[in-house]
A = this chain, B = another copy of it.
């Protein structure tokens, strides 16, 4: 089948799918929202692509501001009262804040998303996939998805396509969903049942480093009865989910020092110490091949799941066999433990490691430094600083001299094993909302109204949200209701969101905005 033929048939797909959707179980609200969306898919996507084209690395202040201004304009176009929440700290990224007052409403719901994104290395993206030039792709890059070059504005959009780009899923999809769900309600003449507030954060991927200060400065504006967080992926099966908590997180940067200048690996090999070898020996001492973290006391503070949480984990549809097949590996890190059971424990992950070069740039050298970044996820009971202290104690116990800066000549002369250990933020602790909280039941019911299968209930997301900080400072509970597909490559190259996930999200969030 030629490209042309394939393209033509995929252009027909959305129409066929619209007719194929079973009407059984679809609420009147869903029907209206769906019709509204079907009539303006092109327009919705065009605006979304404009948003995705603005680079959004948390540290890229100029573009961060362009994103914030763009979202303010999006809110205003929809009749949402919008402004930036700022603080005097010049490096703090603004929160985009929006508000809709509903006459007679007694409850206020805060809707959370973030517009900043993880750093990108464009060289690692698949050919044609670019971080900030959003396009359609026929599938994920790893499943052979191809960029749909032939699509032009006005053409139908296949709901099985992906939209590519940093932030497409994590978490500009939150901006798309929240603002368009509200627009759909207004356009179809339906009022929210609660006052709505929108909190679109600008440094979630940078450890929410200024969130405490921002909350302190805008406490009144941020009052709400419930925060709903739109972040993270749906269940890997594609099923909608409600998450009652999130793991905490802190990153630790390690730099091991070798010779002051890079050396020829022959003329100095087996004499000058190689920092890459010293670093791999250290990292190997932290985690066994069977997935057990070997840092003393690593699992000590963990508060076990409650009975209700354990039951919920047990009820999660099994995904492991299918995921192992899709992801192409034979054995999970810890044999016999499910994906979701693992979320109840802290983790230690090597985010990145580099010493000199590999591939085409590799050369026969002993480098001057070797670097790694490790990621410590935290659960209830853990404290970010305490967890880092355990890792540092482990490093020291293995004979390392630990610094928070580069070594002096004196230190180099004195210590055989020199390492710089740094954390870029204070870290985020874990948060959990009790599963039996009545408001949570209403949230689950709203999401449940949009689907025929049981909504998946997770005691905690595996990832991290600034939930604990918000809970603590504003004395409010949080729930997470995700929208995007699980195979979205968030944080990595070839990030993407499934078009259908965006459409489904509109139905989920209009239901939440009108929940009883």
Contact = CB atoms under 8 A, between A and B. Distances in A.
A436 interface: no
A327 B274 CA distance: 12
A264 B462 contact: yes
B350 A251 contact: no
Interface string A254-292: 000111111111111111111011111101110111010
Nearest to A373: B362
A463 B412 contact: no
A412 B276 contact: no
B273 A333 contact: yes
A329 B412 contact: yes
Contacts of A267: 232-233, 461-463, 486, 490
Interface in A323-343: 324-334, 337-339, 342
Contacts of A463: 264, 266-267
A501 interface: no
B260 A328 contact: yes
Task: With a 10 A CB-CB cut-off, give which of A279, A327, A487 has the most chain B CB atoms.
Answer: A327
A360 B273 contact: no
Contact of A259 (B253, B271, B329, B364): B329
Given A265-B491, A268-B339, A463-B267, A413 B373 contact: no
Given A331-B416, A487-B261, A349 B118 contact: no
A356 interface: yes
A301 to B, nearest CB: 16
Interface in A477-499: 486-487, 489-494
Contacts of A462: 264, 266-269
A262 B364 contact: no
A152 to B, nearest CB: 29
Contacts of A468: none
B371 A409 contact: no
Given A266-B461, A327-B263, A349 B274 contact: yes
A332 B279 CA distance: 16
A430 to B, nearest CB: 11
A407 B367 CA distance: 30
A415 interface: yes
Interface in A3-60: 59
Contacts of A273: 291, 329, 331-333
A489 B261 contact: yes
A402 to B, nearest CB: 15
Task: With a 10 A CB-CB cut-off, give which of A260, A329, A463, A464 has the most chain B CB atoms.
Answer: A329
A367 B492 CA distance: 8
A347 B489 contact: no
A134 interface: no
Given A142-B260, A260-B327, 11 more contacts: A253-B362, A257-B328, A260-B326, A261-B487, A265-B347, A266-B375, A270-B377, A280-B280, A289-B399, A330-B412, A353-B353
Task: With a 10 A CB-CB cut-off, give which of A141, A249, A257, A490 has the most chain B CB atoms.
Answer: A490
A333 B407 CA distance: 19
Nearest to A486: B267
A328 B489 contact: no
A363 B57 CA distance: 11
A389 to B, nearest CB: 20
Given A267-B463, A276-B350, A276-B353, A493 B332 contact: no
Contact of A365 (B333, B371, B492): B492
15 contacts: A121-B357, A257-B328, A261-B489, A264-B492, A266-B461, A266-B464, A269-B462, A270-B342, A271-B337, A280-B280, A281-B289, A352-B355, A352-B356, A364-B375, A367-B492
A261 B140 contact: yes
B370 A353 contact: yes
A189 interface: no
A366 interface: yes
A108 to B, nearest CB: 29
A165 to B, nearest CB: 15
Contacts of A490: 264, 267
Interface string A345-385: 10101111111111111111111101111010100000000
A119 interface: yes
A360 B57 CA distance: 10
A199 B496 CA distance: 54
A258 B373 CA distance: 18
A478 B70 CA distance: 70
B281 A284 contact: yes
A59 B266 contact: no
A251 B361 contact: no
